[in-house]
Amino acid sequence: MTTTTVSRRAKREIVAPPFQWTTILERAQAAGEPDWVIELRQQAWATYESMPMPNQRDEAWRRTDYSHINWNSAGHFAIPNGATVEHIPAENRAPLIGDEQGGLVAWMDGKLVHRELNEKITKQGVIFTDLHTAIRDHADLVKKHLFQKALKASEGKFAALHTAAWTHGLFIYVPRNAVVELPLHSIFYSEQTGATLGHVLVVLEEGAQATILHEYLSPEGDNHASYIGGTELLVGNAANLRYVSLQSWGHNMYEFSHGRGHVARDGQLDWIVGSMGSKLTKAFMQIALDGQGSWGRMSGMFFADGNQLLDHDTYQSHNAPHTTSDLLFKSALKDEAHSVWRGNIRVMPGAIKTDGFQANRNMLMSDTARADSIPGLEIEADDVRCTHAATVGQMEEEYIFYLMTRGVPRIEAERLFLNGYFWDVLERIPFEDVQNRLLADVDRKLLGMHTAKNK
Amino acid sequence: MGATLEIRNLHVSINGTPILKGVNLTLNQGETHALMGPNGSGKSTLAYALMGHPAYTVDAGQVIFDGVEVLELEADERSRLGLFLAFQYPVAVPGVSVANFLRSAINSRRKSINAEDQGITIPQFRKLLTQKMDLLGIDHKFAGRYLNEGFSGGEKKRNEILQLATLEPRVAILDETDSGLDIDALRIVADGVNKLKGPDLGVLIITHYKRMLDYLQPEHIHLMMDGRIVESGGPELAEEVEAAGYKPFFEKHGVEVTEE
Ligand SMILES: Nc1ncnc2c1ncn2[C@@H]1O[C@H](COP(=O)(O)OP(=O)(O)OP(=O)(O)O)[C@@H](O)[C@H]1O
Ligand SMILES: [Mg+2]
């Protein structure tokens, strides 16, 4: 079953956020950025200025009305107030496997507040640091990759804004054939209202392997805040990256983000996203399978309540022969929550013997929740196999009844059912503690302890 | 004295269509009864209505178990009161393992008795589950599988009986638990039920087959037609049905035979 509902809400005028080039330039200079970085910013700013704000007349934004954002609070750079890493909840900082952590790096409102890296990993030549430090210490490496292949300002208004005005970033570099056994963990935490524009740049050279958990967090707040993000994942020949990204913003957050992974010959990218928070999220995600024999998978779990809107726009791009892509996105929606998934599989000319799959499942837990699911195929090569499946269903009483007849109360039956529903995505997250943390989030939300603010 | 399940003049409809038209039946803890009757006569409807399925509307009548008005309770409360239904068609619940589910069910029971209860410990639970699986000849791997997902017909039925054995109800309804079981599985399941039988368990077996009755030896047989129990008797009633089918009973009780 596929629904394609068109929003007919009154369309408000969309105002641009009040960012100014002069402020961006001042900040860049204050951070001691070299000319080449400032040039990147300036070009992107020109692109940004040449584009209109996206609105619901644009196909990609048709179902997503963000005109209610209050840029007066969300459109100024957040000012770090000296808060330390201890402001981040301990459970989010906890080691991922037992008491071992490959590394932990954390930002507060765009300011680096913590960095540690296991000595063994340092010895492997792995770079795990913030982008400004990397620009200073590893200029050539960063220059080669930052906003080059993956993310481009021309992709959209928010991509351009991000490229011009990014506030902070994570840089991970894994050299040739280095296998990072322990997971690397990073956190972007936003405590102040205002905007942060975080960047993630991960580079895996040929034969390298790594697992990364990246978290986006903010406490609940009353004033609108924004996160305008960009992610670049570059997976070299026969390299293997498992990248888990979890978003648990407060309900006052608006996220606009672009993420893109490129996978070279025989490389593998396993990309898992979990989103529970924000007032509104509009995320573009793309995996480009550039090299023959490469493999990419996107998995997502989303649980929205109140009047949240979670919109994911995915693209599986097969640019070479013998490439395999797989996507599984699952959402559950309570109250008046709304999810949008729009996903395309694209097979470029010559990308023969490719295999592309996408499945989107949505579970409505109230009569007023809504899910839009729009799969799409663009196939320009012969001898390919592409399939998709999209469903929107209810939380079936038949299942709940069955569980209840064994003595579990309704809420517990719903909890079990929902945990089971998300399990096939959750089990792809290789950390049991993180799985349990997410399950606890699901439970809290189910019990309504997390209701959205109607702002 | 054990508890008594008493069904009085029960009328049940689905989407406005009357299905049960005045069912009366009394079953004491410790007794074994069988409910037979042609397809569509309302046997499963009775089972679902007793457990509180939301699609089944009770239009009239009463169900009393151990002095409690059952019809006023939610399905989970009925279960904790001691009623159990082995489903004719159990649903699959992806992502929820048999073990996890049973542990939740046990803990829900304990918590309803004592809100402070910390739940059964994992080793205790493992031991309990292993013991019950052995009783029913069930492979231990079963515990880790998702509830009924990809289970064969027979595995689903065994899983129902595993739940019965673990939850230890006072009255269990087995809705065609024998159908879909191969000969060996039928014997294992029936042996299992026989081991569970005793003064603490009342059983209502819904079946079309005499083989199941031969194993379980019910003392009381009830015949349902068109939403009513038209005859009740001893084991000889099952023999009569086996020998002559339902036709003589239709004629005797003036039930219209509708071709499906
Ligand atoms: N959800 C439903 N909607 C409409 N009619 C239903 C529904 N469920 C059951 N019925 C009808 O109620 C009647 C009784 O069904 P029930 O399942 O109780 O029969 P049964 O005696 O268990 O039959 P069988 O021996 O085939 O299992 C049948 O005519 C059936 O079609
Ligand atoms: Mg039936």
Q: Does residue A295 contact residue A263 with C-beta atoms inside 8 Å?
A: yes
Q: How far is CA A36 from CA A77, A139, A291, in A?
A: 22, 10, 29
Same domain, B58 and B171: yes
pLDDT digits (tens, 9 = 90+) for A250-264: 999 999 999 999 999
B188 inside domain: yes
Set of chain A residues whose Cβ sits within 8 Å of the Cβ of B105:
406-408
pLDDT digits (tens, 9 = 90+) for B108-162: 999 998 989 999 999 999 999 999 999 888 899 999 999 999 998 888 999 999 9
Amino acid A240: pLDDT: 98
Mean pLDDT calculated for residue range A111-128: 94
Tokens of A198: 């975080």
Mean pLDDT of chain B: 93
Classify residue B42 as left (phi > 0), alpha (psi -120 to 50) or beta: left
Same domain, B157 and B212: yes
When mean pLDDT is compared across A89-103, A397-411, B28-42, B216-230, the lowest value belongs to: A89-103
B103 inside domain: yes
- Find the A411 Cα to ligand 1 centroid distance in Å: 29
Q: Looking at chain B, which residue has its C-alpha nearest residue A416?
A: B96
Greater model confidence, A145 or B257: A145
Q: Looking at chain B, which residue has its C-alpha nearest residue A422?
A: B95
pLDDT digits (tens, 9 = 90+) for B2-14: 899 999 999 999 9
Q: What percent of chain A has pLDDT over 90?
A: 87
- Asked if the Cβ–Cβ distance from B84 to A403 is below 8 Å, we say no
- Tell me whether residue A94 is exposed, middle or buried, using C-beta atoms within 10 angstroms of its C-beta: 0 to 12, 13 to 18, 19 or more: middle
Mean pLDDT calculated for residue range A101-116: 94
Same domain, B123 and B230: no
B164 inside domain: yes
Amino acid A12: pLDDT: 63
Query: DSSP letter string over A346-363?
Result: EE-TT--S-EEEEEEEEE
Task: Tell me which residue in A406, A417, A419 faces B105 most closely, judged by beta carbons.
Answer: A406
Tokens of A102: 């490959």
A124 inside domain: yes
Closest CA to B189 of B157, B220, B163, B166: B157
Residue B180: pLDDT band with limits 50, 70, 90: confident
Residue B165: pLDDT band with limits 50, 70, 90: very high
Q: Please tell me the total count of domains within chain A.
A: 1
Identify the bridge partners of residue A285 per DSSP, sorted by sequence position: A259, A314
Same domain, B81 and B171: yes
Same domain, B10 and B82: yes
Same domain, B84 and B166: yes
- Tell me whether residue A35 is exposed, middle or buried, using C-beta atoms within 10 angstroms of its C-beta: 0 to 12, 13 to 18, 19 or more: exposed
Return the residue whose CA atom lies nearest to atom 24 of ligand 1: B39
When mean pLDDT is compared across A165-169, A254-258, A392-396, B92-96, the lowest value belongs to: A392-396
What is the CB-side half-sphere exposure of residue A236 using CA atoms within 13 A?
Answer: 16
Instruction: List the end-to-end C-alpha distance of chain A, in Å, as a whole number.
Output: 33
Position in ligand 1 atom list of the atom nearest CA B42: 18
Mean pLDDT of chain A: 93
What pTM, to 2 d.p., does this model score?
0.90
Amino acid A314: pLDDT: 98
φ and ψ of A344, to 5 deg: -125, 140
Closest CA to A325 of A279, A374, A289: A289
Classify residue B124 as left (phi > 0), alpha (psi -120 to 50) or beta: alpha
Q: Is the model's pLDDT at A441 over the cut of 70?
A: yes
Looking at residue A391, its amino acid is: T
- Asked if the Cβ–Cβ distance from B104 to A422 is below 8 Å, we say no
CATH classification at residue B242: 3.40.50.300
Q: Does residue B107 contact residue B120 with C-beta atoms inside 8 Å?
A: yes
Helix locations, A292-378, DSSP H = none
Amino acid B109: pLDDT: 92
Q: Which of B131, B147, B163 is the last residue of a domain?
A: B147
Same domain, B99 and B71: no
Amino acid B251: pLDDT: 83
Give, in degrees to the nearest 5, the angle at Cα B70 between B69 and B71. 95
Return the residue whose CA atom lies nearest to atom 2 of ligand 1: B14
Amino acid A11: pLDDT: 57
Set of chain B residues whose Cβ sits within 8 Å of the Cβ of A412:
104, 108
Q: Cα distance from A5 to chain B (closest Cα, Å)?
A: 29
Amino acid B184: pLDDT: 87
- Tell me whether residue A379 is exposed, middle or buried, using C-beta atoms within 10 angstroms of its C-beta: 0 to 12, 13 to 18, 19 or more: middle
- Asked if the Cβ–Cβ distance from A401 to B53 is below 8 Å, we say yes
ipTM: 0.95
Same domain, B54 and B133: no
Tokens of A180: 């990072």
pLDDT digits (tens, 9 = 90+) for B30-85: 999 999 999 999 999 999 999 999 999 999 999 999 999 999 999 999 999 999 99
B259 inside domain: no
Q: Please tell me the total count of domains within chain B.
A: 2
Q: Is the model's pLDDT at A15 over the cut of 50?
A: yes
Quote the CA–CA distance of A249 and A219 in Å, as a whole number. 7
φ and ψ of A247, to 5 deg: -120, 120
Set of chain A residues whose Cβ sits within 8 Å of the Cβ of B171:
none
The single residue listed with the structure tokens 């105002």 is A15
Amino acid A9: pLDDT: 52
Set of chain A residues whose Cβ sits within 8 Å of the Cβ of B51:
401, 405
Amino acid A260: pLDDT: 98
Same domain, B32 and B63: yes
- Find the B49 Cα to ligand 1 centroid distance in Å: 12
Q: Is the model's pLDDT at A455 over the cut of 50?
A: no
A440 inside domain: yes
B257 inside domain: no
pLDDT digits (tens, 9 = 90+) for A281-337: 999 999 999 999 999 999 999 999 999 999 999 999 999 999 999 999 999 999 999
Closest CA to A260 of A187, A314, A190, A194: A314
Same domain, B23 and B58: yes
Closest CA to A221 of A255, A257, A190: A190
Strand order in the sheet with A240-248: A111-117, A103-108, A184-189, A209-217, A240-248, A268-275, A295-304, A324-333, A355-364, A385-394
The single residue listed with the structure tokens 């809290």 is A444
Same domain, B184 and B172: yes
Domain span holding position A275: 72-446
Residue A449: pLDDT band with limits 50, 70, 90: low
Closest CA to B45 of B102, B7, B101, B82: B7
Quote the CA–CA distance of B7 and B204 in Å, as a whole number. 13
Q: Which residues of A touch B (CB under 8 A)?
A: 397-399, 401-410, 412-413, 416-417, 419-424
Tokens of A237: 């020949």
Q: Does residue A58 contact residue A20 with C-beta atoms inside 8 Å?
A: no
Amino acid B260: pLDDT: 43
- Asked if the Cβ–Cβ distance from A405 to B104 is below 8 Å, we say no
**Ligand 1 mutation target, pool B44, B56, B85, B205, most atoms within 8 A of CB:** B44
Same domain, B86 and B163: yes
Domain span holding position B12: 4-90+151-252
Q: Does residue A197 contact residue A165 with C-beta atoms inside 8 Å?
A: yes
